[in-house]
Chain A
Amino acid sequence: MSGRPGRRVFWAACLLLCLAGFLVSLLSGPVRTTPGDLVRFIKSPDPVRAAIFLDLRLSRAVLAFLVGAALALSGAILQGYFRNPMADPFVVGVSSGASLGAVVATALGFEAAAFGFSGPGLLAFVSGLGIVSLVYGLSMRRGGLKVETILLTGIAAGALASALTSFLLFMRSDSYDQAVFWLLGSFQLAEWGQAATIAPWVALCLVASVWLARDMDLLALGDETAQALGSPVRRVRKAFLAMSALLAALSVAVSGIIGFVGLVVPHWVRILIGPAHRPLFAASALAGGTFLLYCDLLARNILPAELPIGVITAAVGAPFFLYLLYKKR
C-alpha cells in the first residue's frame, strides 16, 4: 500500500479521466461535432442537437459508466466473497442464465418492453437472477452453505444454460445477429429509461457494500474468525451475494454480457490502492465506470460499424492487466 497521498492521486486521476471521458463521449460520433457546437447547443437548444448530444451520446455514456461501475463492484464483491481472485460477476451463472433468457426471448419474438428494458433484456434479467437463486438453493441443501459448493454449482448451472443457448441458436439461425448483440455486449441501444432504471440500484448497492465493507474485511480471516469477531457472517454473505447478482443481472439486461471488466478492474484498483474493502468497493465502481466509458468510445468510433464492446474490454483490459501483474512482481 502506498499510503494516503497515493490514494489521493488515484482518486483525483480517476475523477479527471472520468470527466474527460464524458466530454469526449459527448463530442465524438459519426456526426461531426465541435466543442463550439456543444456550447452553441447549450446556449440555444434545438431538437436535432438535443437528440444527438443528450438522447444518443450522453445517455449512452451515462449507461456505460453505470454498467461499468456495476460490473466492477460486483466483481470486487465476489472476489472478496469467494476469497478468490479469479471470481467475476458471472461466476455464479448470471451471464449464462441471462444470455439464455435473451436468446429465448429473441427466438420467441418476445418484445414487450418495460422499465426501459427491451423484451430480451427483461427476460435476461429475470433468468439471470433465477439461475443465481437456483444455484443458491441447490448449494443450501447440503447442510448449510459452503462457498465452494456455490462456485461449483454455479459453473455447472452456467454450462447447462450455455448448452441450451447454443442449441437455440443452432435451431434458430435467423436470430443470430440479435444473439451476438447479447453475447458480446453493446450500448448501441442505450437510452435514458435504462439508465434511470439501473442507477438507483447501482447507487444502493454501492452504499450498502461500502457500509458492509468492514465485515468483508473480516471474512478474509475466515468465516469462524469473522463470526468470533462479532460479524453476522451468514447475513453478510447473503447480502453480498444478492447484491453482486443483482448488479450483474441489471448490467446484462441493458447491455448484454460484457466480460473482463468485473474481473480486471478490482485487481487494478487493489494493486493501486491496496486491499481494504471500503476504498476498494468505491474505487472499483469509479474505475470500472470510467474504463467502460472509454471502451465504449473505442467500440463506436474505431470502425464505421460498431464493434461489440466485449471485444474491446478484453483487448484493452488483458494487456494492461498483464503489465500491472508483471510490474508488481
Chain B
Amino acid sequence: MRKQGLSVSVFLVLAAVLGHGSAAAQVITDSLGRPFPRPARPPGRIVSMAPNITEILFALGLGDRVVGVTRFCDYPPEAARLPRIGGLVDPNVEIIRSLDPDLVIAFRGNPLRLVDRIRKLGLPVFVLDIGRGFEDLPALIAKIGRVTGTEARAEALAASLLDRLGAVDAALRGIAARPKVFVLLYGQGLWTSGGESYVNDLIGRAGGTNVAAALPKKWALYKRERIIRDDPEAVFILARSAADFEAGRKWLAGMPGIAAVSAVRTGRVYEIDENAASRYGPRLVDVLDRMAALLHPDRFGGEP
C-alpha cells in the first residue's frame, strides 16, 4: 500500500517534470529568472535599453525592427539615428510606451523599478545581464535570438564568434610567457578592470595577465604604487579617440614613478577602442584579436 503510494507520487513528480519540460520549450526565462512567454510572431517593434543589446540586434539583422535605443547607442552608426528613449539609468517610460513596442529588451543596469513600471504598462520586457567572460556571450546572443525569432542567425553569429575565438586560441598555443597587462579606463583617475570584468577574461584569452585580476570587482580604482610594484609589460588604454588615447598616455606617463614601469619604458602602451570594449557584444572578438596581436605579435605575423 505504502509502496504503491510512493510509486504513484514518483509518477506524479515525473509527470510534473515532463509537463514542465514541454512547457519550458515555449517559455524563456530572463536574467531575473522571470519567465518570458515566447512571442507567437517575431516581434516587429523592438526597443533596446542598452548599447550592447542594440549592437547584437543589428548583428542579427534586426536593425529595421529596432524602434528605440538609448542615447549611448552609437554602433552601428545607423543605430544613432533611431529615436532615443533616454539613458541607461534614466530611460523614459513615456517615450518607450509611445513607440508602441512589442518587445522591450532591458539589461540589469537599468533601474529595476523602471523596468517593472514598463512591464506594468503591459509591454513585454525581457531583461538580460552582461556576462563575466567571453563564454557567456554566445548564450546571450542565443537568448536574444529566441525572443526575436532569429534562432538560426543567432546560432550562426555565435558560431562565427567561437570560430574566431578558436583561431586566437590556436595561434597562442604554447606561448612562452603571459605578459602582465594594466588596463586604464581613461577618464577620471586610475580606473581599471578587476577580476570580475569580462575585460579581465579577454586579457587572459589574449595571452596576457591582468595585474588587477585579484580585485573582486568589475571596475575598480587602482593605486599608483601598485602599478609600479606590478611593473606591467603592457598597458591598454581604453580610449574614445586617438586624441583621448594620446592624452591618457601622457597623463599616465607623467605620473611620478610610472616612467620607470616596463610598459612605458619599452613603449608598449596601446590604444583599445573603448566603444567596442565597453559593450558586451560581438565586437569583443575584434578587441580580443587586437589584444592578442599586441601581446604576441610573433604569433600574428608581424610587429604591432
Interface positions of A (Cβ within 8 A of B)? 29-31, 47-48, 51-52, 55-57, 118, 177-178, 181, 188-189, 191, 304-306
| Among listed B109-117, B196-204, B244-252, interface-contacting one | B109-117
Q: Collect the chain A residues with CB atoms within 8 Å of residue B93's CB.
A: 56, 188
Q: Collect the chain A residues with CB atoms within 8 Å of residue B86's CB.
A: 304-305
Report the Cα distance A30→B97, complex, angstroms: 11
Q: Chain B residue with minimal CB distance to A29? A: B94
- A30, A191, A304: which contacts B117 (Cβ < 8 A)? A191
Most buried by A among B86, B100, B113, B120: B113
B170 lies within 8 A of chain A by Cβ: no
27 A-B pairs within 8 Å (CB atoms) are namely A30-B94, A30-B95, A31-B95, A31-B98, A47-B100, A48-B98, A48-B100, A51-B97, A51-B121, A51-B122, A52-B98, A55-B97, A56-B97, A57-B94, A118-B113, A118-B116, A178-B111, A178-B112, A181-B113, A188-B93, A188-B113, A188-B114, A189-B114, A305-B86, A305-B87, A305-B90, A306-B90
- Nearest CB on B from A245, distance (A): 25
**Also in contact, A31 and B94, with CB within 8 A (given A48-B100, A178-B111, A305-B86):** yes
Q: Chain B residue with minimal CB distance to A190? A: B117
Report the Cα distance A47→B97, complex, angstroms: 10
- Nearest CB on B from A165, distance (A): 18
- Nearest CB on A from B112, distance (A): 8
Contact B97 A52 (CB under 8 A): yes
- In order of increasing CB-CB distance, the 10 nearest A-B pairs are A305-B90, A31-B98, A51-B97, A48-B100, A30-B92, A30-B95, A29-B94, A56-B94, A30-B94, A189-B117
Q: Chain B residue with minimal CB distance to A113? A: B116
B242 lies within 8 A of chain A by Cβ: no
**Also in contact, A177 and B100, with CB within 8 A (given A52-B94, A56-B94, A305-B86):** no
- B100, B112, B117, B120: which contacts A188 (Cβ < 8 A)? B117
Q: Which of B78-114 contact A (CB under 8 A)?
A: 86-87, 89-90, 92-95, 97-98, 100, 111-114
Report the Cα distance A191→B117, complex, angstroms: 9
Interface contacts beyond A177-B89, A178-B111, A189-B114: sample of 11 additional A-B pairs, CB < 8 Å, sorted by A: A29-B94, A31-B98, A48-B100, A51-B122, A52-B94, A56-B121, A178-B112, A188-B93, A304-B86, A305-B86, A305-B87
Report the Cα distance A118→B112, complex, angstroms: 11
Report the Cα distance A215→B87, complex, angstroms: 53
Q: Collect the chain A residues with CB atoms within 8 Å of residue B87's CB.
A: 305
Contact B98 A189 (CB under 8 A): no
Q: Collect the chain B residues with CB atoms within 8 Å of residue A177's CB.
A: 89, 111
Q: Chain A residue with minimal CB distance to B87? A: A305
Contact A55 B121 (CB under 8 A): yes
Q: Which of B104-145 contact A (CB under 8 A)?
A: 111-114, 116-117, 120-122
Q: Chain B residue with minimal CB distance to A191? A: B120
- Nearest CB on B from A252, distance (A): 15
Q: Chain B residue with minimal CB distance to A32? A: B98
Q: Collect the chain A residues with CB atoms within 8 Å of residue B121's CB.
A: 51, 55-56
Q: Collect the chain B residues with CB atoms within 8 Å of residue A191's CB.
A: 117, 120
- Nearest CB on A from B87, distance (A): 7
Most buried by A among B87, B98, B100, B117: B98
Q: Chain B residue with minimal CB distance to A33? A: B98
Report the Cα distance A55→B121, complex, angstroms: 7
Q: Collect the chain B residues with CB atoms within 8 Å of residue A56's CB.
A: 93-94, 97, 121
Report the Cα distance A188→B92, complex, angstroms: 10
Q: Collect the chain B residues with CB atoms within 8 Å of residue A188's CB.
A: 93, 113-114, 117
Q: Collect the chain B residues with CB atoms within 8 Å of residue A306's CB.
A: 90
